[in-house]
Amino acid sequence: MPCKVVVGGFWGDEGKGKIISYLALRDKVDIGVRGGVGPNAGHTVQFEGKTYKLRMIPSIFINEKARLLIGAGVLVNPKIFLEEINQTGCKNRICLDPNCVIIEDKHIQKDKSSSHLSKQIGTTGTGTGPCNVDRVKRIAKTAKDIPELKDFLVDVAFEVNKAVDEGKDVLVEGTQGTFLSLYHGTYPFCTSKDVTASSICADVGLGPKKIDEVLVVFKAYITRVGGGPLPGELSQEEAEKLGWVEVATVTGRKRRVAPFNVDLAKRAVMLNSASQIAITKLDVLFPSCKGIKKYAELPDEAKNFIKNIENSIGVPITLIGTGPGVYDIIDLEKSGRISPVIKR
Ligand code: IMP
Ligand code: MG
């Protein structure tokens, strides 16, 4: 599929990194381009025995042929960007847009020292909110002001649009999750900009008619870090009993936990105009699913869980994660069924 955008359906940490890295290896992806807020994101990619925790570099980097880009809408912390280039060895194929705005130490200090941001909202403390404030005030530095970034600058919108027009395979990578959106999320308990598919595309300079597929990623249960409502929230003891406790990639905080919520998922599908759904961590919900790669081999309770989501929402589930590794996945898109809702 020439142009696909991948977004999170709940409050982030749905497993986008894992899904994107699988697509990176399955598809002939020419360009992986990152939209979203900035280094408040943490995408975990496990590949060939290594675990990468990425905050700036597109998760698609494990496809060594893919060109890697960061769209103008994204906030860049140059230190993290350069460190991750070293960690992933992708120096010769990554670029960013000259209009990306730069996170400075003062933004991080403001994020951490404001009790409204750090305590009430519970931000990641990475400076993204205060940096977006300066961006709106039109006083922020951009990537073209930073000598260390000089060799990485490219007109990302032009490159991405040209690739789509030439029929190349472009994967647009979103960050955070739908209900962290500044517009459609649980305001004021949200991030500092919209993060639904439309904005992720705007971040990289792609208009709505250029997009062929919108893949929304849900985890088989819900987690959230920071303040704000979480329908059906479980106590930490209940979560521990179920084995659903997670620790946040960027902040090291314990994530709050709730069971999967079909109504929220339906709303996320609407807000993103999703054409496909991926469900991750099915093996955490049903441990006997671990490592399964064929739908037919799933236990009935897991199949019922999947079918119930599809039937309620009416959008096909195309990928099902069954473990942390890139290839721990059931790929229903590859198996080529046309109407999964009817067929299963
Ligand atoms: P900020 O984006 O750092 O300003 O944080 C605002 C809210 O969004 C807080 O509740 C954070 O925990 C949450 N948040 C931001 N980025 C992520 C993410 O990538 N995963 C999960 N939560 C996030
Ligand atoms: Mg994360």
For the CA of 180, the nearest atom of ligand 1 = 8
Supply the pLDDT for residue 252. 87
Mutation to probe ligand 1, out of 6, 74, 134, 176 (largest number of atoms < 8 A from CB) = 176
Reply yes or no on whether 13 is catalytic: yes
> What is the three-class DSSP state of 188?
coil
Tell me what pLDDT residue 335 has. Answer: 74
Q: What is the pLDDT of residue 217?
A: 98
How far away, in angstroms, is 142 Cα from ligand 1 center? Answer: 22
* pLDDT single digits (tens) 211-228: 999 999 999 999 999 999
Q: Are 317 and 278 in contact (CB under 8 A)?
A: yes
Ligand 1 pocket residue status of 121, Cβ below 6 Å = yes
Nearest-CA residue for atom 10 of ligand 1:
226
**Ligand 1 within 6 A of 63 CB?**
no
Residue nearest to atom 11 of ligand 1 (CA): 123
* Phi then psi dihedrals of residue 66, to 5 deg: -75, 140
> Cα dist. 25→11, 22, 281, 317 in Å?
26, 5, 19, 19
Q: Which is the catalytic residue, given 27, 30, 43, 331?
A: 43
Q: Which residues of 169-197 are buried (b: 16+ CB within 10 A; e: fewer)?
A: bbbbbbbbbbbbbbebbbeebbbbbbbbb
Which residues 6+ apart lie within 8 Å of 37 measured at CB?
A: 74, 75, 128, 132, 175, 176, 191, 192, 193, 195
At 280 the pLDDT is 98
* Ligand 1 binding pocket includes 226 (Cβ within 6 Å): yes
- Give the residue whose CA is nearest to atom 22 of ligand 1: 12
Angle at the Cα of 273 from the Cα atoms of 66 and 177, rounded to 5 degrees: 65
Q: Give distance in angstroms: CA of 260 to centre of ligand 1.
A: 20
Residues forming beta bridges with residue 103, ordered by sequence position: none
Is the distance from CB of 176 to CB of 189 less than 8 angstroms?
no
What is the rounded distance in angstroms from the CA atom of residue 10 to the CA atom of residue 268?
7
Specify the length of the chain in residues.
344
Q: Alpha helix (H) ranges present in the chain?
A: 16-26, 78-88, 105-113, 115, 128-137, 156-165, 197-204, 236-242, 262-272, 282-285, 300-313, 340-343
What is the rounded CA–CA span in Å between residue 195 and residue 193?
Answer: 6
CA gap 51, 24 in Å, rounded: 16
Q: What's residue 341's pLDDT?
A: 45
Tell me the best of 20, 40, 230, 246 to mutate to test the pocket of ligand 1, counting ligand atoms within 8 Å of each CB and taking the most.
Answer: 40
pLDDT score for 339: 41
For ligand 1, whether the C-beta of 178 sits within 6 Å is no
**For the chain, which residues score pLDDT lower than 70?**
1, 336-344
Phi/psi of residue 107, nearest 5 degrees: -70, -40
Ligand 1 centroid – CA 130 distance (Å): 13
Residue type, 252: G
List all residues 6 or more positions away from 209 whose beta carbon is below 8 Å from its beta carbon.
none
What is the number of alpha carbons within 13 Å of residue 283 lying toward its C-beta? 17
How far apart are the C-alpha atoms of 194 and 297, rounded to whole Å? 39
- With a 6 A CB cut-off, is 132 part of the ligand 1 pocket? no
What is the reported pLDDT for 164? 97
- Cα–ligand 2 centroid distance for 176 (angstroms): 7
Backbone angles phi, psi at 100, to 5 degrees: -55, 140
43 is a catalytic site residue: yes
Please give the model's pTM, rounded to 2 decimal places: 0.96
Closest C-alpha among 279, 323, 38, 325 to residue 176: 38
Our answer on whether the CB atom of 181 is closer than 6 Å to any ligand 1 atom is: no
CA dist 89 and 236 (Å) reads: 39
